[in-house]
Structure 1
Amino acid sequence: MITFYPDIKLVHIGAALTSGTLFALRGLGLSLGMRWPRVAPLRYLSYTVDTVLLTAAMMLLTILPAGVFANGWLIVKVGFILAYVVLGVLAFQPARARLSRVALYAAALLCFLQVYGIARAHHPMGLLALLG
């Protein structure tokens, strides 16, 4: 299975960037009061990309050696992913006040950026580790 690691990692990275971009665009559209972010085909595309992302992540977890979990970066990344998902779901709820949705959307984007930084740096502090 290690033979497929580079290909699976490439799919994972592509799906992660696509997922984040879709979220950012949909959230921006909703923040501006547009209706297109709520259409079913766009939601289903988002679900499909997220399914590919999660599948690739699980495949990578089965390939990686156990030592990769030693420094804690992967556990912190998963924590930020969970926060990103919860904040994103809350941000897209139409019953919330507009200002609340915008704040939740911004917090979710910050979580996504931290996940990206952690993945790039392989460090629990993400790109912030490069500052110190």
Structure 2
Amino acid sequence: MDWFSDGMRQTHVALAWFSVLLFLVRGLAVQFGANWPLDSRFSVLVFCADTLLTVTGLSLWVLLYYSPLRDAWLALKLLALVGYTACAYLAMGKGEFRSLAYLYALLMLAYMMGVSYTREPLLGL
């Protein structure tokens, strides 16, 4: 791995941790009825972080020759990303299942991170 792709990977990891921590804090605050996490300034911050996370992720696909059609771990990580997005959306809302959606979103995040580290669809089990 050359210095550029290594820097891209480190940036992607840092953005992923930032995004996870942001969701943990905002989601937990919403679960306890706080309104500040739904402020538009936080939405812009989340959008910017997730956009940069997507750009670095796609760049790593190209630089490291990954493909969701060839690499099962990547395909499942993308499916988990779709599940996380749906659950996170529900968790930040006012519906009666927002706590359950928050839990499922956290589980999807944990799976995505585990798959990213192990490169195994079943997390090496």
TM norm structure 1: 0.87
Number of residue-to-residue matches in the alignment: 125
TM norm structure 2: 0.92
Moved over 2 A (4+): 65-71
* Fraction of identical pairs, as percent: 25
Judged with a 3 Å threshold, the aligned counterparts in structure 2 of structure 1 residues 63 and 89 are, in CA distance, closer, same or farther, namely: same
* Distance in structure 2 (CA, Å) of the matches to 1:12 and 1:53: 6
Q: Does 1:109 align with 2:102?
A: no
RMSD (Å), alpha carbons: 1.9
Contact 1:91–1:101 (Cα < 8 Å) also in 2: yes
Between structures 1 and 2, the one with greater helix share: 1
- Could you tell me which runs of 5 or more consecutive residues in structure 1 were left unpaired when the two chains were aligned: none
Deviation at 1:70, TM superposition (A): 3.5
Q: Does 1:30 align with 2:27?
A: no
- Could you tell me which runs of 5 or more consecutive residues in structure 2 were left unpaired when the two chains were aligned: none
Contact 2:73–2:119 (Cα < 8 Å) also in 1: yes
Judged with a 3 Å threshold, the aligned counterparts in structure 2 of structure 1 residues 20 and 70 are, in CA distance, closer, same or farther, namely: same
Contact 1:80–1:115 (Cα < 8 Å) also in 2: yes
Deviation at 1:90, TM superposition (A): 1.6
